[in-house]
Amino acid sequence: MSKKSSEKDDCNAVSEKKLNREKGAIKGTLSRIEIFTSEKTVSKDTNVTEVQVKLKKLEQLQTQLDKISEEYCEIVTVTSEKFETIQQDIEQINERIEETEVGLKILLSSLKVNENTNTVLNANGKAKIRLPEIPLPEFSGKIAEFANFKNQFTNLISNNDQLNDSQKLYYLCASLKGEAKLLESSSDNIQSLFKALSDRYENQRQLIDSHVLE
């Protein structure tokens, strides 16, 4: 055997070992994803993003496996019998990837359906009915309508402890239309804007005059 041929055989042997290690790494990662898939259920401990990350990882494993399969074909020293064994192993890994992908997609679909159900959990972990969303009250500057608007907005937004002042201001600005919107300024906070509205539209004399004009 020539020196050149010997060096080529050594190179092929190194390449085969490298591919075997890479194939082993794929198996290890796949096993961990399989365990994740078998243990996870639709619960508050499982989220959509987590499952999507695992699906993305499976896609990467499939790409790596396809590349390894092609590289095995380029190693001329691999006997036909050995190559057949390698191909069978790769085929089994492919089947495992496909089965795991199906399991993850079923889990993902169930999670998305669960997110869209008509029940939510309150602070005590008890289920309660999700009520239909109530549209924001609107105020366009009609004095006679301000008292009703103020009452609705206070009940829906101002008294909502889950909203901070910036969010409340955002909703107040979104509620104002027409003439009333002209009272907004860049320096407003929820308190100052509400006070400006009250000062402008709770004026009893103007309220009386507006009824007279009607």
Per the structure, the count of domains in the chain is 2
Query: What sign results for the dihedral spanned by CA atoms 203, 206, 207, 208?
Result: positive
* Nearest Cα to Cα of residue 211 among 152, 153, 145, 151: 145
Q: Which residue has the higher pLDDT, 38 or 99?
A: 99
Q: Which amino acid, 201?
A: Y
| Tokens standing for residue 172 | 């107040």
Where does the pLDDT of residue 113 fall: very low under 50, low under 70, confident under 90, or very high at 90 and above? low
The answer as to whether 135 is a domain residue is no
pTM for this prediction: 0.49
- Are residues 80 and 44 located together in one domain of the fold? yes
The most confident of the ranges 26-30, 141-145, 198-202 is: 26-30
Query: In whole numbers, what is the pLDDT of the chain averaged over residues?
Result: 79
Whose tokens are 């609705």? That residue is: 152
Q: Which domain holds residue 53?
A: 2-115
Cβ contacts of 124 within 8 Å, gap of 6 or more? none
Q: Using CA atoms, how far apart are residues 2 and 201, in angstroms rounded to an integer?
A: 101
Rg (C-alpha) for the chain, rounded Å, is 33
> Same domain, yes or no, for 7 and 92?
yes
Name residues whose C-beta falls within 8 Å of residue 184's C-beta, 6 or more positions apart in sequence: 173, 176, 193
Residue from 187, 174, 182 nearest 201 by CA: 182
Q: How far apart are CA 156 and CA 141, in angstroms?
A: 20
Token pair belonging to 111: 């999670």
Q: How far apart are CA 179 and CA 12, in angstroms?
A: 81
Q: What is the pLDDT of residue 159?
A: 87
Give 186's pLDDT tier (boundaries 50, 70, 90). confident
Report yes or no on 52 lying in a domain.
yes
Q: Taking a C-beta distance cutoff of 8 angstroms, is the pair 61, 30 a contact?
A: yes
Query: Same domain, yes or no, for 86 and 167?
Result: no
Residue 120 lies in a domain: no
Say which CATH number the domain at 101 has: 1.20.58
Q: 115, 130, 152 — which closes off a domain?
A: 115
CB 184 within 8 A of CB 176: yes
Name the residue with higher pLDDT: 148 or 185.
148
Residue 159 lies in a domain: yes
| Inter-residue contact 153 to 175 (CB < 8 Å) | yes
Start-to-end Cα distance in the chain: 111
